[in-house]
Structures are given as C-alpha cells and as structure tokens.
Structure 1
C-alpha cells in the first residue's frame, strides 16, 4: 500500500505531503489544475521514464519521496533481496532530479539505480488509462492475464518443456559427436591396431634404453677383458708363476733356507692371482650376450620412440593413449545404440510436453469462455451491452508456457469486425473495456496499488455510477487511486483529495488537500454544477454521497 507521497519543487508543486488510505482514493479538480502532475511525480520516484522538465522553475532541484507498506510475502521483498537491499515492513523510495537533469534514487537511504526502481514499481503500482500500453492493452501480456484469471498451474508444463529441451539437446550433442567420431574412424582403427600390436608399457622405454646401453658397453670392452684373462691365465702369468714355484721348491733344499721367504710370497701371489682370474672370468661370462638380443632391444626401443613422435606424446604415455583411442572407437561402435536410446528419450519427452501443452490449451479455452462471459456481465451495466469481448487463442511456437497465443479482441457493435482493444474502441469505450477487464481479472491481490487515470472520461449518469461502483469493488481487495472528473465516481471514494491551481506573486502552483465531509459536498457540487455552486447542486452532492452504500 502507498502510505504517503512527499513532493518538493516538482513542476507546479512547491511542497506537498499526502497521506493515502486503503480502499478507494479519488483525486478531483478543475481541468489543468495539475492532477496528472501527481502521477508524473509518482512515476518519477518509481523510476518510470517520463518527461524531462520536472524541476519547478527557479528551484535548484526537485525531490519526491514515496513510502509503501510491505506486508509479509509482498513480491517487492524478493526484488529488494535479490538487489542486495535490506528488507523491512516499510519501504521508502526517494529520488532527486537536479537542475542539470541528473536523477539520483535511494531505497531506504541507500543509493539505487533507476532499473531497480523500475523492477520494484512492477510489484508496487499498476497504472491504467486510455493510453495504457504497459498492461491490459499489450497483447504480449494477454496470455499471462488469462492464466492469472484461470489460476493455471504452470510448473508441470515448464518442467515438461525443460525435459523436452534437454532430451533434444542430448540427442543433438550425441549425433554431432558421432558424426565427428565417424570422420576419424579410419584413423582410430589403424592407430588402435598399431598400438595394440606394439603393446607399449609404462616405464618400458627407460628399461630398454638401460639394457641397450649395457650391451653396447659390454661389446666395446669384452675383447680387452678376454685378453686380460689370457694374460693372467695358465698360458700367461699364472702358468709362469707356477713354473717359478716348482723351480724354487726344487732348489730350496740346497739354498739353506734363503728361498723360504720368496717361496711363501710367491704362494700368496698365486692365491691373489687365482682370485683375480676368477673375477675376470665371471665378468667376461656376464658380458657374454647374443648380438641378436641387442638388435631386438634396439628395434623395440626405436619403435616405441617413433610411435611416440607420431602421436606427439611421451613413450610412457602410449599405453594411456591407446586406452583413450580405444574409448573413442568404442563410442563409435556404441554410437548407433546410444542414438537409438536418445531418440526414444526425445520421443518420450515430446509426448510428455504435447500432453501437458494440450491440457493447458484446453484449460485456457475453458477459461477464455468464462472470461468472455464475465466480461459480458460487466459490460452491460457500463452501457456496452451490445459490445462483444472475445478472448482468442491461436497456435504459437512451443515454449515453456505452452504453444498458445492469446489476444483480447472487441467488436463494439453487432456485425462489426472484431479487432484489438486499442484499435477498435473509442476513448470512452476503451476506458470501460479496461475497467471491466480489470474487475474480471482481479483476484483480491492487495500487493499492487491500482491507479486509474481518468478512466471514466466520456461517460456520465448511470454509466459513470457503474464505473464508480466497479472501482469501489476493486478497492475492497486493493488500494485504488482514481483521477476523475465524474461526480458519481468521486462520491464513491473512501478518501477524497482536491487538486487546485493558484497564482501568487506571478508564480503558479498546484496544491492538493484532503477533503472533509463538508468540503466533499462542495467539491462534488462544483463537479455537478460548474463554477457557480447552487443549493440544488449541493443537495445532489449530498444524495450522491449518501448513496455510497
């Protein structure tokens, strides 16, 4: 609910403070008194795009403050929370228009952009008038309005649409992947066969390289080791030393002990020489290999390295590459089966969406008939019993909310062609169509402040009274603000404000005052009689006010 509106130095307003009440609030005044200025100022603080020259002449800046009550569950709370603003039961919007044209807004004393203000305004205020192209006259919103009237349950349909979209996306992705895989199928099969034939193992390259180096090293030194063994063996040093030992043994008896020490040293040397010969023989035996082993080792090592270069990977990664390529090849082999499964999933999702969309269409068709009947009942008291309102459904592109296009059409006279509301109806007719439609669509939602800007223009008498009573009915479930020239409508208001223009010191200003009961009689009498208020006009005003019940 809009609780108060504070305006300073805006257009013709010097300083104005207004307190609004629940129910039907009416604003009246002479033509040109400045009633539309109030709506301009309210639109300004809500971030609406409007006229640029808002600052009062001679003022440095203009300012508007609006205070709203936000009960628990009000949709504005969600907007505030998502935008990072603190949420409370009171919402204070303030916006300043500098003399240089700059506009600055605040939400509860925190800076806010015009975009956030506009998002908030959609949850706070709904404006209706003869030039209403934001709400009821916008065909793009007619389906939403019909759904709200019908109270349809959209989440199951949206879920079916999501399942359909995801199933189709999965099929398209798999089909594209299979097509791309088929383009490299020949390469994959050749590469996998080549890798499987070689069967590379992690760490194998290092092992082969070490073995090859060992065999190559042994080949280079084996001849020297063999010559050393020959020099140390029985045909070399060992044989000579054994001969020397025998010769010393034969001469020892006649040497009177002088050969004992040399003979002992020679025996010890023979023992060490034997160990050396054994070691050299063992080393020579270890160096003994088949040259074909070296050739085979080199061939495999070179094959591993060549395949690694071919695939631009390390030799140790060839085993992992083989598994990767084998997996890709497996996708091709399993691709047809996977596509068949995904095709079935798409068919199932399509069927689920079609069923939900058809059910939604049937629900909307039934709701359209109820809305048309409700509109006929509302239009008759508004002196438009010959007019025909029709809700038309046509097939549209499938989407998360079905495949129905909805349009509200009217024919103002029997036999006349039907067409869009704003193309067929005249100004006064349009106002009544909009009011009847709003009454039919109302659901007792008190979240929105409903504003009607001279929606009763062009009607009078019993029709104006019917308009006023429908506005009063709307006000039972919501706060309603009405700018009106109709005394019948004004008399039905629960709260009455008069807008008046005055000139003082060459400066024109507009003022708004809340009227007492006696002042309401004067104002409604003026609306009935014109400039000269007669006793008869006052009596008529009293009758109108007494007939509010």
Structure 2
C-alpha cells in the first residue's frame, strides 16, 4: 500500500507531501490544474524515463520519494533478497528518484542504490496505473494465465510435479545416451586394453617383489667368483676343513701324552665346529644368490613390461590390477547399456504421457474457468456503457518445445469493442477511457486474484456521466475493499464514493525579482464540507449553485 508521496521541485510542484490510507482516494481539479504532473512524478519514482525537463526551473534537481508497506510474506521481499538488497520482511519500502537539471538520475530503495530496470521490476509488485499515462499489469499477456488460474482456484501442483519428473527422466536419458555414445567410441580400445592386461595378469605388490628379486640376483652374479674361491679355501681338497681334520686326527693320537696337548685338541675341535658352521652358512648364501642368468632375464623382462604398461595407461604399477577391473566394468556397462537405456526410454515415455494427461486435465479446467470469467466480465460491461463490447479468454495449446511446469496453454484476454469486429488483445483498444473502464470491469471480477496492493485509475470516467458514472463509482468502492485505489476523476459520482479526497489546483503567487517562475501546483486534502463544495463545483461548473450543493449532499450520503 502507498503510504506517502513526497515531491520536490518537479515541474510546477515546489514542495508537496501527501499521506494516503486504505480504501478509495480521489484527486479532482479543473482541467490543466496539474493532475498529470502528479502522475508523472509518481511514474518517475516507479522507474519511468528521467527527463531533465521535469526539474522545476531555477532548481538543480528534482526528487520524488514514495513510501510503501506490504504484508510480511509478500513476494517482493523474496525478489529483493534474490537481487542482493537488504530489506527485512515487513519493512517499509522507500523508493527515491533524483533527477538532475543538467541530466542524469539516481534511484534508491531504502537508501540502497538500484538500477532503473530493477526499480521498474520492483514497482510492478507495488502499483498499477491504468489510463493514458501507463499501461501494465492486466495488459501484459504473461500474467493472464496466472490470473485465470487464481480466478478459478485451479491447482497446478500436479502438473508441476509431473513436469519436474518428466524433465528428470529426460535428463537421465540424455546423459545415458551421451555416455553410451562416448563409451561406444572407446569400446575397441577397451577390449584391446583388457585383453593385453588380462594376459599380463598384474598382481598386487608385484613391482616391489620383482625389484627385490632382481636386486638379489644381480648381487649373486657379482659375488659368485669370490664365493667360489672362499668355498675352495674352506671345503676344498686342500681347504681349511680338510687340513684341520688331518691335524685333529694326528693330535688325537698324542694328546694323552701331555695335558697341554689335550687342551690343544679341545680347541681344535671347536675350530672344526666353527669352520663347519661357516661352510654351511656359505653354502646357504650361495644357494640364495644362485646366479641363474635365465631367471634374471625373465625377472627383468617382467618388471620392465609391468612398468611400461603402467606408463601406457598413466597409472602406478601397483594400481594396474584395479585398473583392469575398472576397464572390465566399463566394458560390462557398454554391453548392458542397451538394456538400461531401454528402461530409461520407457520411463521417460511414461513420464511424458503422465504430464500430458495432467496438462490436458488442466487445459479442460482452464476452458471451463474461462467460460465463467468471460460471463462475469460481460456482466460488468453494460453498466459501464460498453454494451457492444465482448470479452473472450483465448486459450491456445503451445508447441511441445514451450510446455512447462504450468501446463501447455497460452492464455490471453481479448476484447471486441464493436459489433462484428474481431477479437484483439487488450492493447489494441484505442480509447483511453474505454480501456480504463474495461480494466475496471476486469479488476472487479478478478478482485483477490492479484497481488498488486495499489491501483491508480487516470480519468476512468472520461466521456461518461449519470448512471454510468454512478456504476463506475460503485465498482471502484467495491474494488477498494480489497486493494488501495487512487482515482483521478472529473465525475462527482465517483468523487462522492471516496474515503479520501484531494483537490489539485494551480496557485499564482506574486513574482519576485529572484523568482521568474511563479505558478505552482498545490494539492489539498479536503474536509467533508470542502468535499461537498468541490463536488458541487464538479456538478455545476464555474458558478456553484444551491441546487448543486444539495445534489452534492445527496451524493455524499450514497
């Protein structure tokens, strides 16, 4: 809801502060008093083009500030958060537009700079202006489908869920087909790689085992000559063990002759035992370091091939066993992929059919709701002096590429204003007053189906009077029970319905040497007696008569 409007140095407005309340508010005044200036100023705050010509002469800049309040759960707060604007739910929104006399402008929302395009988006949540100055809201076909659904209380959640599931299966199928295509291109390579690696049969930890064995065999080759000589020295015919045994036998024959000889024999026996152990260990070492050239060649060939395969497939040698399993798994996926794709295709087809069935059901609900909407709008037209007009909600099925979570329909409100004329979009209506009255009819019927908090009608009663003006006033009052309405009017019947009434008039103060631009537009909130006098003026013209005042009192009692 619009709470206040502050205007500084815009065209003929020097300084103006207006406070607004709920319900129906009207602005009246003689032709040329400046009502359009007020709308231009408000439009500026809502994102209209900033023209430096709007700045009052002798001023450096013009400023328009509008303050709004919204329910805490209003969709605009989520939109502001999505656009990185810091505004708490339920916080008042203060929109300010500054226009410089030398060109350029700035837009602020709660003192945060915003672009003009974002300001326009924000204002679409806040206010609608119908008439010759601005066309938005109901004239935008993109909103018609939602308005129709809201009017008929149509639940689109089942269609949205069906569409989401269909798109999920569509995505999974596309990914599977793409993966299959990629894998098919690699199938021949995979088969060759698996065959090669399977034939080689790499084992866990094989590289370290082969490297250790190769190292030992290389040591054996290097030590073989030395070990052979040592063996001859210890175990040969003339080796140490043979000589020690000969010495022991001979010493044994004489050891009883002298105690020292017995001790020498004992030491010699120990030497023979130690020499035997050395010979046995030397034999074991020779066995471990057995220099088998064929075995060394085989070990080296295996090790080099293992490392070459690892480099070829860009993995560590110890990772080759698991790499083989991975490649085998990919081959199995390719072989079983056709079956998986067939299942996905069946699931996708079923999901599409379910969506189409739900969308068709929604389409039929919309057609029935459209008939009710058309009938309701048509009933509102005759009292508004639009007896020849016809209204039709046009529903067309979209191409499959345009289907979405809200169904398969394109919805547009159309009208024919003359007998025999074709139906056309609302924007094709030529007369501003006729368009405003038609917008009023739609607004009355769709009351509660929209989220806009404030609606402005500019001269909705243009060219009508009497019973039609009364009908307009009655409908505006009814609509103001659900939305805040501001109406610029020349009709006393409409003005009499207002909860708030402002008079717009020009003021001509005496010019001074410093001020070359003296004319000012002023807006005054009227008391009840002042309202009666203004409505009487609207009834009688320049000279207010007692009869006009009496008629004004009767209108105000409505």
Number of matched pairs: 546
Using a 3 Å threshold, how does the CA distance of structure 1 residues 114 and 370 change in structure 2: closer, same or farther? same
Q: Rate the CA distance shift 1:285–1:478 in 2: closer, same or farther, 3 A.
A: closer
* Separation in structure 2 between the aligned mates of residue 72 and residue 252 of structure 1, nearest angstrom: 120
Query: In structure 1, how many angstroms separate the alpha carbons of the residues matched to 2:447 and 2:260?
Result: 140
Counterpart in 2 of 1:58? 58
Structure 1 distance, partners of 2:337, 2:107, is 58
The 5-angstrom pairing of residues 132-531 of structure 1 reads 132-238=134-240, 239-244=242-247, 269-288=271-290, 291-396=293-398, 397-443=402-448, 448-504=453-509, 505=511, 506-531=517-542
Q: CA deviation at 1:64?
A: 2.7
| RMSD of Structure 2 on Structure 1 (CA) | 2.8
1:251 to 1:431, Cα distance in 2 relative to 1, 3 A: closer
Using the TM superposition, give the Cα deviation of residue 182 of structure 1 relative to its aligned residue in structure 2, in angstroms.
1.0
Query: 2:53 & 2:354 partners in 1: Cα distance?
Result: 55
Give the CA deviation at 1:293: 3.5
Q: Is contact 1:164–1:346 with CA below 8 Å preserved after alignment?
A: yes
- Distance (whole Å) between structure 2 residues aligned to residue 120 and residue 426 of structure 1: 28
Deviations 1:477-522 (A, max 9, x none): 2210001122222222221111111233142211000112232233
Query: After alignment, is 424-433 or 403-412 more displaced?
Result: 424-433
Structure 2 unaligned blocks of 5 or more: 512-516
The CA deviation at 1:449 is: 0.8
Shift of 1:377: 0.5
Does 1:533 find its partner at 2:533? Answer: no
**Structure 1 runs not aligned, ≥5 long:** none
Distance 1:45 1:154, change over 3 A: same
Task: For residue 335 of structure 2, give the secondary structure of its aligned residue in structure 1.
Answer: helix
- Matches of 1:107 and 1:415 in 2, distance apart? 49
CA distance in 1, matches of 2:141, 2:449: 23
Q: Which residue of 1 aligns with 2:35?
A: 35
TM (normalized to structure 1)? 0.90
Cα distance in structure 2, aligned partners of 1:518 and 1:272? 138
Partner of 2:9: 9
**Greater shift after overlay, 289-298 or 212-221?**
289-298
1:299 CA displacement:
3.2
- Seen in structure 2, the aligned counterparts of structure 1 residues 371 and 132 have a Cα distance that, compared at 3 Å, is farther
- The corresponding residue for 1:120 is 122
Mark the CA change 1:271 to 1:140 in structure 2 (over 3 Å): closer, same or farther. Answer: closer
Work out the CA distance in 2 between the residues paired with 1:272 and 1:69. Answer: 107
SS in 1 for 2:312: helix
Structure 1 residue 476: deviation in Å?
1.9
In the alignment, the residues of structure 1 paired with residue 228 and residue 120 of structure 2 have an alpha-carbon distance, to the nearest angstrom, of 100
1:358: how far off? 0.6
- Change in 2 beyond 3 A, CA 1:79/1:446: closer
CA distance, structure 2, for counterparts of residue 88 and residue 140 of structure 1: 28
Shift of 1:85: 1.6
Q: Which moved more, 1:51-60 or 1:368-377?
A: 51-60
CA–CA distance in 2 between the matches of 1:258 and 1:368? Answer: 134
Question: 1:10-25 residue pairs with structure 2 within 5 A?
Answer: 10-25=10-25
Correspondences of 1:56-95 after superposition (within 5 Å): 56-80=56-80, 82=82, 83-88=85-90, 90-95=92-97
Moved more, 368-377 or 33-42: 33-42
Does the aligned pair in 2 maintain the 1:192–1:326 contact within 8 Å? yes
1:452-475 Cα shifts (integer Å, max 9, x gaps): 112222323322222222111111
The 1-side partners of 2:133 and 2:38 are apart by 17
Q: Which sits farther off after the overlay, 420-429 or 389-398?
A: 420-429
Residue 2 of structure 1 and its aligned partner are, at CA, apart by: 1.8
In structure 1, distance between residues paired with 2:419 and 2:493: 29
Q: 1:305 to 1:536 in 2, by over 3 A?
A: same
Contact 2:73 2:90 in 1 (8 A): no
Q: TM-score, normalised by structure 2?
A: 0.89
Q: CA deviation at 1:12?
A: 1.6
Equivalent residue number for residue 514 of structure 2? none
Question: CA-to-partner distance for each residue in 1:255-310, whole Å, 9 max, x for gaps?
Answer: x9997887776555444433332322222233336554434323322331222122
The 1:450–1:252 alpha-carbon spacing in structure 2 relative to 1, beyond 3 Å, is closer
1:542 paired to 2:553: yes
Change (3 A) 1:480 1:529: same
The Cα of 1:24 is off from its aligned counterpart by 1.0
Residues 436 and 457, structure 2, Cα contact 8 Å, conserved in 1: no
CA contact (8 A) 1:412 1:425 kept: no
- Contact 2:217/2:290 (<8 A) preserved: no
User: 111-120 or 458-467: which moved more?
Assistant: 111-120
In 2, distance between residues paired with 1:490 and 1:318?
90
